[in-house]
Amino acid sequence: MASIQLRGVEKSFGAANIIKGIDLAIADGEFVALVGPSGCGKSTLLRIISGLESATRGEILLDGRIVNDDSPRDRNVAMVFQSYALYPHMTVAQNMAFNLKLSRKDKQEISRRVEEAARMLDLVDLLERRPGQLSGGQRQRVAMGRAIVRNPSVFLFDEPLSNLDAKLRVQMRGEIKLLHHRVKTTAVYVTHDQIEAMTLADRIVVLNRGVIEQVGTPLELYNKPANLFVAGFIGSPSMNFIDARLKDSASGQKAELADGTQILLPARPFASKSGKITLGMRPENIVVERESGNMAGTVKVSEPTGPQTHLVVEAAGTDMLAIVRADFAARAGDGLRLSFSPNTLHVFDAESGRVL
């Protein structure tokens, strides 16, 4: 096992500056998810940690030792990719043993490790099959087994579940979490799926255009997003945003919307140079009632999901998403009222996008 440190890591491809100065410390045994939109540099950063790609600037440390010049093999990291990259002509057992054979481990040690990994991953009955005779989930397990048998210091996962259907993805997600509880190997897990990141990780790193927007536990990011990007990226369905101005009143600070609606803010002095703010409301925190409430709205769309219903409500000139109980009957065109408990509101500086 190993800790990971990145110090001022940058990466350019030609003139394109893709990774723009990353500083990050990952503790030994920690499970860290790296999330961000497609193209933001997640795979590049993972490949820099693995040694498949070199950094243009900065240092990569494993267990306190600078490894910039070490090959992937010398770093003792194991990668699991979205494309399982299994050898089609080899059996499951041979696929799992392949890297160990290359590193000239003795035969008994190899079969002991393969058996142990097969037991852990429920592959014992499949050891003699070839990849073509396996389901997608089973192939992903073999890819994981191939990483585990190497007993690496660090696991690096690059969107390992993206090729699986939704149900299998949830199941494999659970298995990866169990596996980490058991082996406790430091893991960096790349995904564009914030739910996957939230459910798996001890800490999440939100990456955007090659820079870190925020690092924190899943609930820290959900409850205290540092800026508009993180607020919009973490949480599903996404947070609603609405433009407003700060306004002082006898009962406390308020946000005044374009149509004059006033919304009471949490009891904490907010200051923004321009006075312009962006108010954030999570759909699950909006209180929807028929008669009373802060703000009038009209139902545009009602989407039942089973346990709850999502309502798109036109209010104060924008569309807001609110979640109501499944038994709340609402049809397009219905008039409603929305209210917001001050402590559930997120207040951002409209210009910088930073939380106030």
Distance CA(203)–CA(215), nearest Å, equals 7
Q: Which of 39, 174, 252, 275 binds ligand ADP (CB under 6 A)?
A: 39
Q: Which of 36, 43, 134, 239 binds Mg ion (CB under 5 A)?
A: 43
Q: Which residue is nearest to Mg ion (CB)?
A: 43
Distance CA(128)–CA(122), nearest Å, equals 14
Pairing assessment for the beta strands 211-216 and 262-264 based on DSSP bridges:
unpaired
User: What minimum distance in Å lies between the beta carbon of 41 and ligand ADP?
Assistant: 4
Instruction: List the Cα angle 105/108/112 in 5-degree steps.
Output: 100
Contacts with ligand ADP: how many residues (CB under 6 A)? Answer: 10
Nearer to Mg ion, 39 or 275 (CB): 39
Nearer to ligand ADP, 15 or 250 (CB): 15
Identify what 39 binds: ligand ADP, Mg ion, none; CB under 5 to 8 Å per kind. ligand ADP
Instruction: List the Cα angle 217/48/117 in 5-degree steps.
Output: 70
Does 309 engage in binding with Mg ion (CB under 5 A)? no
User: Residue 275: how many CB atoms within 10 A of its CB?
Assistant: 12
User: Scanning residues 3 to 22, which ones bind ligand ADP (CB under 6 A)?
Assistant: 13, 18
The structure tokens listed for 189 are 């897990």
Identify what 95 binds: ligand ADP, Mg ion, none; CB under 5 to 8 Å per kind. none
Nearer to ligand ADP, 81 or 84 (CB): 81
Identify what 13 binds: ligand ADP, Mg ion, none; CB under 5 to 8 Å per kind. ligand ADP
User: What minimum distance in Å lies between the beta carbon of 55 and ligand ADP?
Assistant: 13
User: What minimum distance in Å lies between the beta carbon of 285 and ligand ADP?
Assistant: 30
Does 38 engage in binding with ligand ADP (CB under 6 A)? yes
Identify what 18 binds: ligand ADP, Mg ion, none; CB under 5 to 8 Å per kind. ligand ADP
Residue of 189, 192, 224, 183 lying closest to 203 (CA atoms): 189
Q: CB neighbours of 73 closer than 8 A, spacing ≥ 6?
A: 103
Does 253 engage in binding with Mg ion (CB under 5 A)? no
Pairing assessment for the beta strands 262-264 and 254-257 based on DSSP bridges:
antiparallel
In angstroms, the Cα distances linking 157 to 6, 139, 149, 189, 323 are: 17, 15, 15, 5, 34
Residue entry with tokens 């709340």: 328
Does 50 engage in binding with Mg ion (CB under 5 A)? no
Does 82 engage in binding with Mg ion (CB under 5 A)? no
The structure tokens listed for 186 are 């430091």
**Which residues contribute to the site for Mg ion (CB under 5 A)?**
43
**Which residues contribute to the site for ligand ADP (CB under 6 A)?**
13, 18, 36, 38-44
